[in-house]
A = this chain, B = another copy of it.
Amino acid sequence: MTVLDSAPVGTTTPPASVCAVLEQQRHGRPVGRDRYTISEVAGCTGLSVHTLRWYERIGLMPHVDRSHTGQRRYTDRDLDWLDLVGRLRLTGMPVADMVRYARLVREGAHTMAEREELLAAHREDVRKRIAELRSTLEVLDYKIDIYSDARRRAEAAEGA
């Protein structure tokens, strides 16, 4: 069962995706330890360690914990956050907007309206893009049909 066909039931049932199904599909999230090194996280998110550090520098991560020697220790929460970030990125949200969202989350509950607004705007964007993609799909189907018709005809002529 993929992310795609998770049942969208009542208002409060999360799609399985939000629970980091994605990571499991990639390389599996190491289980039940809740303190992951940067390379483990890289492995299970598909991001590079460079990118993970960079995300932190630009304020896209909610304060990552450190070991006594100063190494990063990511939690399951961090992985969930990275899952969301990955989705927003895949759907084309600019990093700057994600940073803004991250800042709002850090600032606490009084920013929830603004966060909702931000996500709703992005949802509209995604909807528009789906429509665009679908319309291009039609064009592609049309053109590919023409090519394959031509090919079939050429093959038939050659056979004759």
Q: A residues near B, CB below 8 A?
A: 3-4, 6-12, 14-15, 17-18, 84, 87-88, 90-91, 112-113, 115-116, 119-120, 122-123, 126-127, 129-151, 153
Question: Most B CB atoms within 10 A — which of A139, A144, A145, A148?
Answer: A139
Shortest distance from the beta carbon of A1 to any chain B beta carbon, whole Å = 12
Contact A133 B8 (CB under 8 A): no
Contact B126 A136 (CB under 8 A): yes
Please, could you name 23 A-B residue pairs with CB atoms under 8 Å apart, sorted by A? A8-B146, A8-B153, A9-B146, A10-B145, A10-B149, A10-B150, A12-B142, A12-B145, A12-B149, A14-B142, A15-B142, A17-B135, A17-B139, A18-B142, A90-B136, A112-B147, A113-B147, A116-B144, A116-B148, A119-B147, A122-B140, A123-B141, A126-B137
Shortest distance from the beta carbon of A131 to any chain B beta carbon, whole Å = 6
Contact A141 B8 (CB under 8 A): yes
Chain A to chain B: the 4 pairs with minimum beta-carbon distance, closest first? A10-B149, A116-B147, A15-B138, A8-B150
Q: How far is the CA of A131 from the CA of B3 in the complex (A)?
A: 9
Given contacts A4-B134, A116-B144, A119-B144, list 18 more A-B pairs with CB under 8 A. Answer: A4-B135, A4-B146, A7-B146, A8-B150, A12-B142, A14-B142, A15-B142, A18-B143, A84-B139, A87-B135, A90-B132, A91-B136, A113-B151, A119-B147, A122-B140, A126-B136, A130-B130, A133-B133
